[in-house]
């Protein structure tokens, strides 16, 4: 009898401790996590020894891919809407409330204004696919990038500009972006880099 009882008890593993640990871990991850933002292009940032961390809020990120396409993202949805309204006002366009609603939830945008309406009408899966093909025009004849930055700044004066570019991006593109920013007297900005593995010396 006693033997059988012992055998039965041994099958029951006390999971309470295990559960405690997992809940703790879960809480940790939930509190510390910042979700990975979906970006239209994969960008490998160059490494640097700089150890300044980027602030979390009020960031306007400028994403530049190796071929020189420029995308932008703002971290607040309210700013996105306001900025879109300002930009469309400046370029003499108007968007329906539905289109604004779709734009609001975009993680990253980078479509020339003349294709914006057609783009917003697409299904979300299609949008992700097609966004890679676009990019905000930065050339001197039609510098919509400048307009976007100007309007975003007007919307939120505390905005910090962060440039995230691929390490293989030609300097020419960076120069165009930097020149546009300089023209707007945005002389302070951050360059996003990854941490260098080797030590400084």
Partner 1 sequence: MAELQTNEGGGKKKGGGSKQKKMSVHVDFTPMVDMNMLLITFFMLCTSLSKPQTMEINMPSNDDKIKTEDRTKVKESQAITLVLSGGDSIFYYTGKPDYNDHNSLKLSSYKASGIRSLLMSRNTEAVSKIDVLKQKKLELKISQKDFTEQVAELKNGKNTPVVIVKASDRATYKNLIDALDEMQICNIGKYVIDKIGPAEFALLKNKKDALKQGNPAK
Residues that bind partner 1 (CB under 8 A): 12, 14-16, 18-19, 22-23, 25-26, 29-30, 32-36, 45-54, 56, 64, 162, 164-172, 174-175, 178-179, 181-183, 185, 187-196, 200-201
Nearer to partner 1 (CB atom), residue 120 or residue 135:
135
Sheet with 160-165, edge to edge strand ranges: 70-74, 59-64, 160-165
The Cα 157–Cα 153 span in angstroms is 5
Query: For partner 1, which is the closer residue by CB, 138 or 169?
Result: 169
Quickly tell me which residue has 């020189």 as its tokens.
68
Minimum separation from the CB atom of position 170 to partner 1 (A): 6
Count of CB atoms situated within 10 Å of the CB of 118: 10
The dihedrals phi and psi of 162, each to the nearest 5 degrees, come to: -125, 130
Report in angstroms how near the CB of residue 25 gets to partner 1 at its nearest. 5
Kindly state the smallest distance separating residue 63's Cβ from partner 1, in Å. Answer: 12
With respect to partner 1, which residue has the nearer C-beta, 34 or 141? 34
- The strand pairing partners of 109, in sequence order, are 72
User: Smaller CB distance to partner 1: residue 25 or 118?
Assistant: 25
Least distance CB 74 / partner 1 (angstroms): 17
Q: Name the CA dihedral angle for 51, 57, 58, 59, rounded to a multiple of 10 degrees.
A: 50
């Amino acid at each position: 009898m006693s033997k059988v009882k012992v055998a039965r008890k041994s099958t029951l593993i006390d999971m309470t401790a295990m559960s405690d640990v997992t809940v703790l871990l879960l809480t940790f991850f939930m509190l510390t996590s910042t979700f990975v933002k979906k970006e239209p292009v994969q960008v490998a940032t160059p490494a640097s020894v700089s150890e300044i961390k980027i602030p979390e809020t009020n960031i306007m990120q400028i994403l530049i891919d190796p071929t020189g396409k420029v995308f932008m993202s703002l971290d607040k949805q309210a700013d996105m809407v306001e900025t879109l309204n300002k930009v469309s006002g400046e370029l003499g366009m108007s968007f329906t409330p539905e289109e604004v609603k779709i734009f609001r939830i975009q993680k990253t945008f980078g479509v020339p204004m003349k294709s914006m309406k057609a783009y917003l009408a697409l299904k979300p899966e299609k949008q992700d696919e097609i966004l890679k093909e676009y990019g905000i025009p930065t050339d001197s004849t039609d510098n919509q990038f400048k307009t976007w930055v100007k309007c975003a700044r007007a919307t939120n004066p505390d905005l910090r500009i962060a440039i995230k570019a691929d390490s293989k991006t030609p300097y020419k593109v960076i120069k165009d972006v930097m020149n546009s920013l300089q023209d707007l007297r945005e002389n302070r900005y951050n360059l996003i880099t990854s941490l260098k593995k080797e030590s400084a010396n």
